[in-house]
Structure 1
Amino acid sequence: MAWSDKSHPHRLLLTKQFPLGLEVVPVFRPVMRAVNRIWNSCVWHSRETFRQENRWPTEAELKTKSKSFAAWCELHSQSAQAVVEEYFEAVSAYRKHRENGHLEMNPPGFKPKDHLRTVTWKRQGFDVEGNTLVLKLSRGKEPVKVVLPEGWDVVVLPDGTEVKGVPVEVKVKAVVRRNVENLVLHVTLDLGVMPVHRAGAVSAYDYNSALVARAVSNGRLDLFVCRELLSLVQYRNKIIAGFQEKMGRLKEGSRRWKRCLSAKVRVLKRLDRCIRQMEHTLTKSFAGLDGAEDVAFAVVGNLRGLRCSARTGMKGKKASQKINHMAYDRLAREQRYKNLMRDIETDTWTEKNTSSTCCLCGARNPAWRRYRGLWVCGRCGLVLQADLNGAANLLKQYLFGSCTGRAEPFTFKEVRVWRWDGRHNRFVQVSPRAA
């Protein structure tokens, strides 16, 4: 996993994973259980504060209270503080969901005593000695040393360039299905500020639930059919609803309820892996096309407030359901860091009037969008897929400030259509008729 840092939009952070093996489980088990005890202590203190004072404690109050626990003295101070920060972030997300009307949400709860929780070491909590990571514990305790393979901090960019990263954060996670299968070390490397092109073509992306349209200033038009991805997300939500209905008829905490819960987690993890793999392949295709066509800037539509407008009745029931299914923000983040690895800058831009304006002549009339997938201009007679028309208007809006009243300065080529190929697990080009 990689992303661009908020402190600098062109700073690239990359997380690499290293399996540790089951033989190191006895070494990390006491540390992970200490982290779990701090989490449960935060849960208990928060619930008592809410019961007595009708408020949630602040992050500073939780840290002050937790410092008196015995589990705090077993960890490095930064690792112990990371647990409190993680819990406070979970509580903040829960409160925000409740404020937005999701009353079915529950606050973060207790974990079993033998639960192996993720341990985090921040930059002050570990040292690097060649190919060895020295993970510090509390004062007076021997640190844990992990030997990594040669070149563990070297990242190869898509153009073949090797970049050496500086580790800034380390996490140890337990892979648990029915029992502990492995421990995985996650090391976040800071690759520094990546250079970006200042001259070149511009591409624009119009995200939709089942389709993603792409328009480039050199005249290229691409349409990615993502119906397989949407069907996976819909199937996942159907599985969740089925399990919730079944668990609602069982007594919470019973043996059958626990078996049903473990089956639900197991099935959802498998589906989530399929969805994330398809999303990564989609955004990798975007970045690959931009890199091959010398694109300097990639523009993504700003979809802030889209889900809110879908809930207010501006769209039909089916359209609102599809809009709320897709993880647009996650797709944009993945596309951003993959473009950054190819020296391409990514920006967001407003989509105002892009779906109700003709990209060829610039005339605006919302009625010319016959239905969700067809645009027929009443002035110039342009017949085009509606999302491709929106992507072309987004490109004009980014370049010229407005898409209305301005003719298209580019001559668009034939539309290329891409669709998911399950045999090779990638998007392949197909004929427009086959799509």
Structure 2
Amino acid sequence: MGKVLLPLFRPVMLAANCVWNSCVWHSRETFRQENRWPTEAELKAKFKSFAAWRELHSQSAQAVVEEYFEAVSAYHKHRENVHLEMNPPGFKPKDHLRTVTWKRQGFDVEGNTLVLKLSRGKEPIEVVLPEGWDVVVLPDGTEVKGVPVEVKVKAVVRRRRVENLVLHVTLDLGVVPVNQVGAVSAYDYNSAVFARAVSSGRLDLFVCRELLSLVQYRNKTIAGFQEKMSRLKEGSRRWRRCLSAKVRVLKRLGRRIRQIEHTLTKSFAGLDEAEGVAFAVVGDLKDLRRSARTGIKGRKASQKINQMAYDRLAREQRYKNLVRGVQTDTWTERNTSSTCCLCGARNPAWRRHRGLWVCGRCGLVLQADLNGAANLLKQYLFRDCRNRALSFAFREARVWRWDGKLNRFVQVSPRAA
């Protein structure tokens, strides 16, 4: 959507912003008087009679309160984790155009026209969409028609000016068919290396040093800006300029990091589809960050672990696999890093420096992450990777590395990696 529809959406988005600011004011007053934060039900009941609430559809107004309550819950969680520098959600400027959400009962679809409902007695907003807006084409050419379940209208602001409006429509594609018979692949996520093992005997190693270096460079950039801003008066002209430069640089670095992450997960899904994989297994890393914070690992290793977006990579790989007919599952990585994938003997000391695995029983020499991926595959197939020999032989590992000129991962020789 362009600026043509901006006059139609401006009153609605300003009303949503007014509801947000009302939630902030009421929450602060309740905390000051009663030393507690109001619940979501209290906030919804409080503002039903407000004029700004009556500008929106009832579910759209409730969505604003739900977003505010999620922000407050996140603030409480950070405070419980001893992040005392975090602040509760605050007020927005009066002319701020807040994102408005229409849930399923708040809009209708008439052909290629999206009818967004407002409060009773107000004319709805009609948006004409292009032909085929609700059709998703899968990589194999299959067209799946989705049912819209949620609509969001967001304002794009650059240099304090609204340049455009963006319409986000969430579609329910129903049940996407997946392959039930085929090979199984397992993925071992690491900060700089991602390993892949397939039950057909294929091994792949993705070297992501560029991704790690960008994350580390982002840390140095943040530290540099914070050092400069600490010497300036907060809110001054130079402080605001420094803040704008910081946001601009971090957005650029964030786009580069997300590009590599999307290309990496797309390569995973493409290999699974090409090799007839039916199930892809990703390690369950929910306890990895907790173990890194307990002091078990070193300071540098803990920093790498806590800053890599493992959950986001798993979610991206899952939806890319889904549209290719591959089912993704998570499985425990218990004992996978300290067990030999060939003979099943376990000894943590056999994992040598810089990710080298040398088995003291059978003499297997393998990259440690490839050994972990193979053990994760055994764990998923046989429910245990210890004291069990590998029932199939692995081929020579392929090595992939990021090519900055081509903006994709290319296969290189193992010696070059």
Deviations 1:133-163 (A, max 9, x none): 0111111111111111111111100111011
Trace 1:400-419 onto structure 2 (pairs within 5 A): 400-419=382-401
Matched, 1:388 2:397: no
Matched, 1:82 2:82: no
Matched, 1:354 2:336: yes
For 2:225 and 2:130, the matched residues in 1 are separated by 42
- Look up the SS of the partner of 1:111 in the other structure: coil
Matched, 1:46 2:27: yes
Trace 1:410-429 onto structure 2 (pairs within 5 A): 410-429=392-411
For 2:318 and 2:228, the matched residues in 1 are separated by 40
Q: How far is 1:274 from its partner?
A: 1.7
Match of 2:107 in 1: 126
For 1:343 and 1:64, the matched residues in 2 are separated by 45
Question: Which 5+ residue runs of structure 1 have no aligned equivalent?
Answer: 1-19
1:55 to 12, 36, 40: 36
For 1:23 and 1:249, the matched residues in 2 are separated by 44
Deviations 1:310-337 (A, max 9, x none): 0111111111111111000011011111
2:175 to 184, 193, 199: 193
- The 1:268–1:69 alpha-carbon spacing in structure 2 relative to 1, beyond 3 Å, is farther
For 2:227 and 2:90, the matched residues in 1 are separated by 21
For 2:43 and 2:135, the matched residues in 1 are separated by 38
- Look up the SS of the partner of 1:394 in the other structure: helix
Q: How far is 1:97 from its partner?
A: 1.2
Q: How far is 1:82 from its partner?
A: 0.4
Matched, 1:144 2:122: no
- Look up the SS of the partner of 1:193 in the other structure: coil
Q: How far is 1:36 from its partner?
A: 1.0
For 1:132 and 1:208, the matched residues in 2 are separated by 46
Match of 1:177 in 2: 158
Q: How far is 1:248 from its partner?
A: 3.0
2:46 to 48, 51, 65: 65
For 2:68 and 2:228, the matched residues in 1 are separated by 29
For 1:203 and 1:251, the matched residues in 2 are separated by 54
Q: Percent of pairs identical after alignment?
A: 86
- The 1:262–1:34 alpha-carbon spacing in structure 2 relative to 1, beyond 3 Å, is farther
- The 1:51–1:29 alpha-carbon spacing in structure 2 relative to 1, beyond 3 Å, is same
Q: Is the 8 A contact 1:421 1:428 kept in 2?
A: yes
1:293 to 250, 275, 281: 275
Q: How far is 1:52 from its partner?
A: 1.7
Trace 1:211-222 onto structure 2 (pairs within 5 A): 211-222=193-204
- Look up the SS of the partner of 1:371 in the other structure: coil
Deviations 1:238-296 (A, max 9, x none): 22223333333333333333333333222222222222121111111101100111101
Q: How far is 1:46 from its partner?
A: 1.2
For 1:29 and 1:182, the matched residues in 2 are separated by 12
Deviations 1:354-401 (A, max 9, x none): 000000111100000012411111111111100000000000011001
For 2:42 and 2:243, the matched residues in 1 are separated by 33
Q: Is the 8 A contact 1:91 1:108 kept in 2?
A: yes
For 1:430 and 1:223, the matched residues in 2 are separated by 10
For 2:57 and 2:239, the matched residues in 1 are separated by 37
Q: Is the 8 A contact 1:234 1:325 kept in 2?
A: no
For 1:66 and 1:207, the matched residues in 2 are separated by 47
Deviations 1:400-430 (A, max 9, x none): 0110101111110111111111112111111
- Look up the SS of the partner of 1:189 in the other structure: strand
Matched, 1:366 2:366: no
Aligned residues: 416
Match of 2:230 in 1: 248
- Look up the SS of the partner of 1:192 in the other structure: coil
For 1:195 and 1:153, the matched residues in 2 are separated by 18
For 1:372 and 1:350, the matched residues in 2 are separated by 23
For 2:201 and 2:393, the matched residues in 1 are separated by 6
Q: Is the 8 A contact 1:169 1:187 kept in 2?
A: yes
Match of 1:209 in 2: 191
- The 1:249–1:51 alpha-carbon spacing in structure 2 relative to 1, beyond 3 Å, is farther
Q: Tell me the amino acid that sits aligned with residue 188 of structure 1.
A: T
For 2:344 and 2:21, the matched residues in 1 are separated by 60
Q: Tell me the amino acid that sits aligned with residue 116 of structure 1.
A: L
Trace 1:28-39 onto structure 2 (pairs within 5 A): 28-39=9-20
For 1:359 and 1:173, the matched residues in 2 are separated by 50
For 2:2 and 2:343, the matched residues in 1 are separated by 62
Trace 1:152-171 onto structure 2 (pairs within 5 A): 152-171=133-152
For 2:62 and 2:369, the matched residues in 1 are separated by 47
Question: Which 5+ residue runs of structure 2 have no aligned equivalent?
Answer: none
Between the two structures, name the one with larger relative contact order (CA 8 Å, sep ≥ 6).
1
Q: How far is 1:55 from its partner?
A: 1.4
For 2:235 and 2:95, the matched residues in 1 are separated by 17
Matched, 1:103 2:84: yes
Q: TM-score, length-normalised on structure 1? A: 0.93
For 1:194 and 1:286, the matched residues in 2 are separated by 19
* Aligned residues: CA RMSD: 1.2
